[in-house]
Amino acid sequence: MTRDLFADATQGSPLREDLCPGAVVLRGFALAKETHLLASINEITAAAMFRHMLTPGGFRMSVAMTNCGGYGWVTDGKGYRYATTDPLSDQPWPAMPDVLLQLASAAAKDAGFADFTPDACLVNRYEAGARMSLHQDRNERDFTQPIVSVSLGLPAIFIFGGMRRNDKPVRVPLLHGDVVVWGGPARLRYHGVLALKPGRHALAGECRINLTFRRAG
Ligand code: MD3
Ligand code: FE
């Protein structure tokens, strides 16, 4: 599945969709950098491999994860938190490649967050059937800082709820190259991802990769 950006531009289909106050989808914002982004992800995972972490309750996450930047998000029997080193190697996480940092900060700027400098990038890999159940992101220090997400590879259906777990979520398809900025009143909304449908993407292969940029420390 791809989007024809020329058709979008000429027929007026929006490249920018406001999901709710504080949440903006920038359709195709990462497309111009797709090859560079995927090469950078390969370098990150060569140094800090994708792994299935355990939830505090002992369940294996279906999404495989790694991190780059000064802080990395981890979960194990001790809980959810940010750590400056990879628990598999006890070494610092790989540095955040410049192409990732620049993309996240440009997207945040477009959405009205003028100086977003992320210090953490969580890299999620979804294979067929992998999903992320409804949750809030609240391990960061400063909720006035946005989160920027970049979708690559296979399409997924993102579910976007409200401030309470029981608020009915809306479904938002996220495609290769889409970038979403979540800030302000959207920052603490519940969200998740439905089980990935099997498929093959020309550049990314049989998976979806999502980057989420945060200011953790
Ligand atoms: C809305 N990842 O890593 S990115 C996560 O596609 C996570 O892998 C999903 O949720 C993924 O925590 C969704 C979109 C996202 C990220 C953070 C948010 C949406 C958000 C924080 C607040 C509200
Ligand atoms: Fe999240």
Domains in the chain, start-ordered, CATH in brackets? 14-214 (2.60.120.590)
The span from the CA of 208 to the CA of 124, in Å, is 8
What is the distance in A from the centroid of ligand 2 to the CA of 205? 23
What is the model's pLDDT at position 4?
80
What is the distance in A from the centroid of ligand 2 to the CA of 30? 19
Ligand 1 lining (C-beta closer than 6 Å)? 122, 124, 132, 137, 147, 149, 158, 180, 182, 186-187, 189, 191, 193, 210, 212
The span from the CA of 205 to the CA of 142, in Å, is 35
pTM: 0.95
Question: Could you identify the atom of ligand 1 that is nearest to the CA of residue 174?
Answer: 6
pLDDT per residue, tens digit, the chain (217 aa), is: 667 877 776 665 569 999 999 999 999 999 999 999 999 999 999 999 999 999 999 999 999 999 999 999 999 999 999 999 999 999 999 999 999 999 999 999 999 999 999 999 999 999 999 999 999 999 998 999 999 999 999 999 999 999 999 999 999 999 999 999 999 999 999 999 999 999 999 999 999 999 999 999 9
Please, which residues have CB less than 5 A from ligand 2, an ion?
Answer: 137
For atom 8 of ligand 1, the residue with the nearest CA is 210
Contact 73, 139 (CB under 8 A): yes
Torsion angles phi and psi, residue 61, rounded to 5: -70, 140
Q: What is the dihedral of CA 164, 14, 120, 21, to 10 degrees?
A: -40
For atom 11 of ligand 1, the residue with the nearest CA is 210
Question: Could you identify the atom of ligand 1 that is nearest to the CA of residue 186?
Answer: 23
Q: 34-47 and 98-110 are packed helices; what angle lies between their axes, rounded to 10 degrees?
A: 130
